[in-house]
């Protein structure tokens, strides 16, 4: 077997588990070898990135867009034969984009963690373990395996907040754990019910079996009708994913977690972990519960709209720099929720499209925009939290009232902040504009015809109020941090240290800035991969 053959057959396993192996190596290093620990952790995160880029090249050469028919680089091994669960992994266009996002952000977050001095081995080990958990969710094609990875990422993030967070870290980490566990308990029971009822946990089989289950009636447990049970299971899935995205009003854990988490933890929390909930909707809810998702779609659209509008207002009202950016994450993910509602309304294979293909096409545009928005928001949110962390490290405060005029003493930092803010704002020519435009364009036209419910254009119209305040809170952040007279309190808090961005931080920011620009002017390199899978799903 050649090296290329070995890599093609095992590349997903290598990408997923090499970070965990790297974390184990890090934990074996001497406790006082902090610099060596940082470098080993960085290299351990760069290797999966290199393999993910190779996988991206191979995927583009021979794409496998339909996960039901067979995913790219698919690997299946016996894992838990007693319940017919297997180690089954593979990628399609959507999961490929998320794997790329995860492997890009992790080494950059580790680079931003260079100043961590307390228990460096544990910090880096947890971070690499967290990467494995996130990647496992995106590549799993077995429902039980997917749930194991879903839960695996909870523990490292809890400890990252609890040990290395800010002053109120105990409350924030506890709240993060309680919210996530509240969703996961129902999710675990639902996963067990589906797998044991169908006799398999394999997603490629469940996507064909579970939607048809109970079509002719019948009961489960001798008491409840199949339709009732499926509705309860659907709601358990929705609750778990709504908390993770998070959808308003299940979002209240997020500002606290972001505010207290270390800089790199906030980068990964906003950049990748929030995407797990949206990915769960796309991978599990839409194909497994088409009828229930269709019925819930208008309510989901309303919740997405409320998330956009209300959290934009909340973000504008913040005086804490990090909480401002934290609320903006809920705001931006609201557009993803709207697109998910549109896709749910049309259904897999457009089974509910009564508009002669109009809704089908528009939902495809919207869902493409949603996946691209997941990637784009991951890049821009990670950049914004990195910028907040840089200034917090220098000033030891996130209070916007104690900043001002910093562009005069940190012009490079100021330029990078404005560039990143404009990408988050949705300035044409940068990445945020493309994805949000696609969502608005697609969702606006879904349900606009005579044969459909006009809920979606109405929700998009109201959401424009949130888009207006997105510009307001972005400009507020720029004004209070960079513009106006130099705040002497900020200079005093720096204790003579430079407020300008350093070389290491610049190196961490450059890939993010480059992606913002490239995706803004030439998004086709990513959209072509995403679109193949989305089209297979909705057509």
The series of mean pLDDT values per 10 residues for the chain, 539 residues long, is 85 94 92 91 95 92 68 85 86 93 95 89 92 94 93 88 87 89 88 88 87 70 74 91 90 87 90 91 91 90 93 89 89 92 84 70 90 94 92 85 85 92 91 92 76 73 88 90 80 71 92 95 92 85
Task: Give one DSSP letter per residue of 34-53, joined into a string.
Answer: HHHHHHHHHHHHHHHHHHHH
Cα-Cα end-to-end distance for the chain? 39
Closest CA to 512 of 393, 408, 417: 417
Please, which residues bridge with residue 219 across strands? 225
HSE, CB side, 13 Å, CA atoms: give it for residue 355: 22
Task: Report pLDDT for 338.
Answer: 93
Task: Report pLDDT for 525.
Answer: 92
Q: Which long-range contacts (CB under 8 A, 24 or more apart) does 488-494 make?
A: 489/402, 490/395, 490/402, 490/403, 490/404, 490/405, 490/406, 491/409, 493/394, 493/395, 493/396, 493/397, 493/402, 494/394, 494/395
Dist CA 537 CA 140 (whole Å): 18
- Helices 93-111, 503-521: axis angle to 10 degrees equals 160
Task: Report pLDDT for 304.
Answer: 93
Dist CA 304 CA 173 (whole Å): 26
Please, which residues bridge with residue 246 across strands? none
Retrieve residue 31's tokens.
Answer: 């406790």
177 contact partners, CB below 8 Å, separation of at least 6:
154, 158
The whole-model pTM stands at 0.93
Dist CA 498 CA 410 (whole Å): 8
Query: Measured on CA atoms in the order 69, 75, 76, 79, is the torsion positive or negative?
Result: negative
Closest CA to 378 of 180, 183, 169, 519: 519
Retrieve residue 271's tokens.
Answer: 């950049």
391 contact partners, CB below 8 Å, separation of at least 6:
321, 398, 403, 406, 413, 481, 499
288 contact partners, CB below 8 Å, separation of at least 6:
194, 206, 207, 210, 211, 237
Task: Report pLDDT for 374.
Answer: 94
Classified as helix, coil or strand, 281 is: helix
Retrieve residue 502's tokens.
Answer: 């350093």
Contact between 183 and 243 (Cβ < 8 Å) = yes
Residue 523 phi, psi (nearest 5)? -80, -5
Task: Report pLDDT for 12.
Answer: 94
Tell how far CA 83 is from the center of its chain: 30
Task: Give one DSSP letter per residue of 155-176, joined into a string.
Answer: HHHHHHHHHHS-TTHHHHHHHH
Classified as helix, coil or strand, 483 is: coil
Task: Report pLDDT for 47.
Answer: 95
Task: Report pLDDT for 393.
Answer: 85
- On the 0-12 / 13-18 / 19+ scale of CB atoms within 10 A, 249 is exposed
Task: Report pLDDT for 361.
Answer: 84
Q: What is the CB neighbour count within 10 angstroms for residue 93?
A: 29
In Å, the largest CA–CA distance within the chain is: 75
Task: Give one DSSP letter per residue of 103-157, joined into a string.
Answer: HHHHHHHHHTTTT--SSHHHHHHHHHHHHHHHHHHHHB-BHHHHHHHHHHTHHHH
Classified as helix, coil or strand, 85 is: strand
Retrieve residue 141's tokens.
Answer: 């094609």
Retrieve residue 374's tokens.
Answer: 């997941």
């Amino acid at each position: 077997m050649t090296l290329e053959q070995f890599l093609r057959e095992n590349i997903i396993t290598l990408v997923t588990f090499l970070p965990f192996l790297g974390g184990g190596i890090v934990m074996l290093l001497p406790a006082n070898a902090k610099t060596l620990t940082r470098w080993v952790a960085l290299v351990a995160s760069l290797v999966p990135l290199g393999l993910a880029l190779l996988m991206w090249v191979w995927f583009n050469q021979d794409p496998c867009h339909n996960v039901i028919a067979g995913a790219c680089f698919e690997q299946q091994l016996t894992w838990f034969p007693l319940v017919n669960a297997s180690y089954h992994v593979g990628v399609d266009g959507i999961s490929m984009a998320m794997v790329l996002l995860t492997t890009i952000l992790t080494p950059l977050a580790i680079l931003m963690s260079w100043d961590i001095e307390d228990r460096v081995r544990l910090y880096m080990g947890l971070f690499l373990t967290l990467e494995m958990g996130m990647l496992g969710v995106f590549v799993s094609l077995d429902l039980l395996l997917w749930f194991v990875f879903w839960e695996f990422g909870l523990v490292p993030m809890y400890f990252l907040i609890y040990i290395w967070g800010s002053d109120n870290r105990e409350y924030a980490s506890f709240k993060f754990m309680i919210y996530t566990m509240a969703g996961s308990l129902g999710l675990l029971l639902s996963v067990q019910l589906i797998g044991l009822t169908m006799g398999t946990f394999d997603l490629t089989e469940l996507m064909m079996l579970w939607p048809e289950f109970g079509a002719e009636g019948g009961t489960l447990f001798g008491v409840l009708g199949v339709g009732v049970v499926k509705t309860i299971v659907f709601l358990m899935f929705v609750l778990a994913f709504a908390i993770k995205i998070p959808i308003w009003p299940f979002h209240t854990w997020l500002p606290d977690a972001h505010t207290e988490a270390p800089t790199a933890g906030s980068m990964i929390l906003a950049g990748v972990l929030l995407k797990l909930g949206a990915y769960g909707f796309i991978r599990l809810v839409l194909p497994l519960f088409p009828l229930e998702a269709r019925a819930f779609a208008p309510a989901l659209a309303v919740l997405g709209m409320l998330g956009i509008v209300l959290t934009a207002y909340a973000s504008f009202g913040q005086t804490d720099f990090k909480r401002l950016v934290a609320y903006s994450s809920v705001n931006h993910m609201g557009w993803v929720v709207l697109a998910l509602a549109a896709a749910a309304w049309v259904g897999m294979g457009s089974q509910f499209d009564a508009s002669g293909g109009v809704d089908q096409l528009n939902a495809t545009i919207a869902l493409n925009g949603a996946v691209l928005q997941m990637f784009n928001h991951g890049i821009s949110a990670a950049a914004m939290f990195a910028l907040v962390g840089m200034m917090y490290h220098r000033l030891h405060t996130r209070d916007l009232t104690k900043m001002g005029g910093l562009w005069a003493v940190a012009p490079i930092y100021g330029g990078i902040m404005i560039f990143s803010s404009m990408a988050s704002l949705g300035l044409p020519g940068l990445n945020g504009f493309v994805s949000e435009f696609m969502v608005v364009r697609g969702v606006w036209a879904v349900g606009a015809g005579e044969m459909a419910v006009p809920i979606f254009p109405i929700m998009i119209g109201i959401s424009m109020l949130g888009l207006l305040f997105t510009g307001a809170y972005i400009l507020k952040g720029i004004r209070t941090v960079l513009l106006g007279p130099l705040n002497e309190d900020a200079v005093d808090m720096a204790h003579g240290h430079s407020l300008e961005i350093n070389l290491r931080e610049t190196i961490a920011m450059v890939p993010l800035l480059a992606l913002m620009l490239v995706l803004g002017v030439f998004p086709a390199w990513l959209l072509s991969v995403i679109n193949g899978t989305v089209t297979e799903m909705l057509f």
